[in-house]
Amino acid sequence: MKWIKVSSYEEMSKVACSIFVKQLQHKSNSVLGFATGGSPVGFYKEIVKSYQAGEISFDHVRSFNLDEYIGIPSNSPASYYSYMVENFFQHVNISKENYHLPDGNAIDLKEECVRYDKSIEESGGIDLQLLGIGVNGHIAFNEPGTSFASLTNIVNLTESTRIENARYFENIADVPTQAITMGIQSIMNTKKIVLTAFGDKKVAAIDQLYSGKITEDYPASQLLMHPNLTVIYGSEG
Q: Is 137 in the site for ligand PGA (CB under 6 A)?
A: no
Spatial distance between the Cα atoms of 149 and 138, rounded to a whole number of angstroms: 15
Rounded to a whole number of angstroms, the minimum distance from the CB of residue 217 to ligand PGA is 16
Contact assessment for residue 220 and residue 206, using Cβ atoms and an 8 Å cutoff: no
Query: Which strands sit side by side in the sheet containing 31-34, from one edge to the other?
Result: 2-5, 229-234, 192-198, 128-131, 31-34, 62-65, 99-100
Spatial distance between the Cα atoms of 93 and 51, rounded to a whole number of angstroms: 9
Which of 39/129 has CB closer to ligand PGA? 39
Rg (CA), the chain: 16
> What contacts 51, CB < 8 A, 6 or more positions away?
57, 58, 91, 92, 93
Using CB under 6 A, which of 133, 151, 179, 180 touches ligand PGA?
133
Task: List, by residue number, the catalytic residues.
Answer: 67, 136, 138, 143
Cα–Cα distances in Å, from 140 out to 24, 152, 186?
23, 10, 11
Which of 31/197 has CB closer to ligand PGA? 197
Using CB under 6 A, which of 42, 104, 132, 234 touches ligand PGA?
132
Rounded to a whole number of angstroms, the minimum distance from the CB of residue 59 to ligand PGA is 28
Q: Is 63 in the site for ligand PGA (CB under 6 A)?
A: no
- Site map (CB under 6 A) of ligand PGA, residues 24-43, x = contact: -------------xxx----
Name the segment binding ligand PGA (CB under 6 A); options: 56-64, 132-140, 142-150, 229-237: 132-140
> Which residue ranges make up the site for ligand PGA (CB under 6 A)?
37-39, 132-134, 138
